[in-house]
Amino acid sequence: MNISTKSGYVSIVGKTNAGKSTLLNNILGQKIAITSRKPQTTRHRFLGIKTINQCQIVFVDTPGFHTGQKRALNLHMNKIAVNSMKGVDIVLYVLDGLKWNDEDRAKVESIPADTIKILIINKIDKLNDKNMLLPFIEELNRQNSFDSIVPISALKNLGVDDLLCLIEENLPEGEHLYPKNQITNISEKFLASEIIREKCINRIGDELPYRISVTIENFNELENITHINSVIYVEKESQKGMLIGQSGSMLKSIGTSSRKELENLLDTKVMLKTWVKVKKGWSDNEALLPSLGYDLDK
């Protein structure tokens, strides 16, 4: 082993809508996690890999913690978030501004004692009173819950370089776990499904929150074009009508926007076909979740 190299796993956790995916995309310099102003956008656990000279940071992106939801999908996402704080070298606990309460404290106390804990105060650019930031940090330092506290704006790229330096300092020595040019462990097929879901959420999320799941039925890469067939699942016929829109206008808008982003991602022409189907009560049926791509073992 070359002892001059460092590598380790860094889990990004926190409540929904704290900006975890925005932070990961910023660090990687590439979009691999979908983002939305709607909470509970991230549903899966996947890796983002950043190699900087002799250091390789393997980020674990997770769904946000949320309470008050007892559907099978929500319980599954909470389980992923909790498990992602175990067996890693560093936990980044991301806050939406200065929103900290007893629930956050309990989550942090459940992190294994030998894990480096770094609090990320995100969205500092949106603070109404920036004079509150320093007293807030001082109070949390007195509680001695974290090894470090870093204020940032993931969206505006403020403080992110300082955060990366801090992570590098705390990584254990070890060989790199992935090739230096690899950015994620997820497939282009999975990214396609996530991009389509993002377009759905951002267009009709207010009317149809979180009852959407996307699967890719066919992903065929040819020399000059990639053919993708996708199915968007909803829970009710009325939701299907909302998603299709008048004369198919909503589904066409979703398809066009998805295709453009996929062509940029894949660097090739894309032929995208999309259908909407009803699978009644899928988000509260644990038996159905694996058929829609959710790994219940995580």
* CATH for 17: 3.40.50.300
Clarify whether residues 68 and 114 are in a common domain: yes
| Structure-block tokens of residue 129 | 């009173």
What are the tens digits of pLDDT across the range 80-112?
666 666 788 999 999 999 999 888 888 888 888
Burial of 43 (0-12, 13-18, 19+ CB in 10 A): buried
Clarify whether residues 12 and 136 are in a common domain: yes
User: What's the pLDDT score for residue 185?
Assistant: 81
Clarify whether residues 32 and 143 are in a common domain: yes
DSSP-assigned letter for residue 171: P
> What mean pLDDT is reported for the chain?
83
Clarify whether residues 133 and 200 are in a common domain: no
Residues 6+ apart with CB under 8 A from 264: none
Clarify whether residues 14 and 46 are in a common domain: yes
Domain tally, the chain: 2
Q: Is residue 176 one of the residues assigned to a domain? A: no
Domain of residue 288 covers 188-292
Rounded to whole angstroms, the Cα distance separating 153 from 19 reads 9
What are the tens digits of pLDDT across the range 203-244?
886 666 567 888 899 999 998 999 999 999 988 888 899 889
Residue ending a domain, among 141, 170, 199, is 170
Clarify whether residues 64 and 148 are in a common domain: yes
Clarify whether residues 12 and 123 are in a common domain: yes
Residue of 59, 63, 80, 82 lying closest to 10 (CA atoms): 59
Among the ranges given (60-64, 133-137, 169-173, 204-208), the one the predictor scored with the smallest mean pLDDT: 204-208
List the CATH number of the domain containing 219.
Answer: 3.30.300.20
Among the ranges given (33-47, 144-158, 240-254), the one the predictor scored with the smallest mean pLDDT: 33-47
Average pLDDT of 134-162?
93
Clarify whether residues 123 and 228 are in a common domain: no
Q: Is residue 205 one of the residues assigned to a domain? A: yes
Clarify whether residues 10 and 125 are in a common domain: yes
Rounded to whole angstroms, the Cα distance separating 230 from 262 reads 13
Q: Which residue has the higher pLDDT, 272 or 39?
A: 272
Clarify whether residues 57 and 156 are in a common domain: yes
Q: Is residue 183 one of the residues assigned to a domain? A: no
Which pLDDT band holds residue 1 (cuts at 50, 70, 90)? very low
Clarify whether residues 287 and 205 are in a common domain: yes
